[in-house]
Amino acid sequence: MTDARLPAHLEVGAMIRAVEASGGFATVLKKGEREAGSILVITCEKGRDSTLYERMPDLDEGRRWTEIRRQDPENPFDFNDYVEKRGRQDRDCWVVELDIANATQFIPGMT
């Protein structure tokens, strides 16, 4: 199966525009490889309850968005530390934050 997908910068840009058009806030926290970088998406609402998603290979030889980590209210810095560590491990990856209610609706292919 061919994994035909949009270049990373276009996919990130589309997410950001959709969130902003709906009254939310979105930003790139880390820029990755323009064409084929992986994308990590942090969803939150009013800066709280962050969840990290990444597209991972699935059994159907495709790629599916998967929840990787949730912010623990008792230890909020652990989440940020993980995101920073993940960004250092893959210098080509993008990290995007979507701050809006029901943010997963703005992740292409998530719903």
In a domain? residue 111: no
In 53-108, which ranges are continuous DSSP H helix?
76-89
Burial class from Cβ neighbours inside 10 Å (0-12, 13-18, 19+) for residue 67 reads exposed
Q: Which residue has the higher pLDDT, 16 or 2?
A: 16
pLDDT digits (tens, 9 = 90+) for 40-75: 999 999 989 999 999 887 777 778 899 999 999 899
**Separation between Cα atoms, residue 28 and residue 48, nearest integer Å:** 17
pLDDT value at 95 more than 90: yes
In a domain? residue 17: yes
In a domain? residue 3: no
Q: Containing domain of residue 77, as a range?
A: 8-106
The reported pTM is 0.90
In a domain? residue 37: yes
In a domain? residue 2: no
Please state the domain count of the chain.
1
Query: Which CATH number belongs to the domain containing residue 92 in this structure?
Result: 3.40.1530.20
In a domain? residue 56: yes
Closest CA to 39 of 79, 98, 99, 80: 98
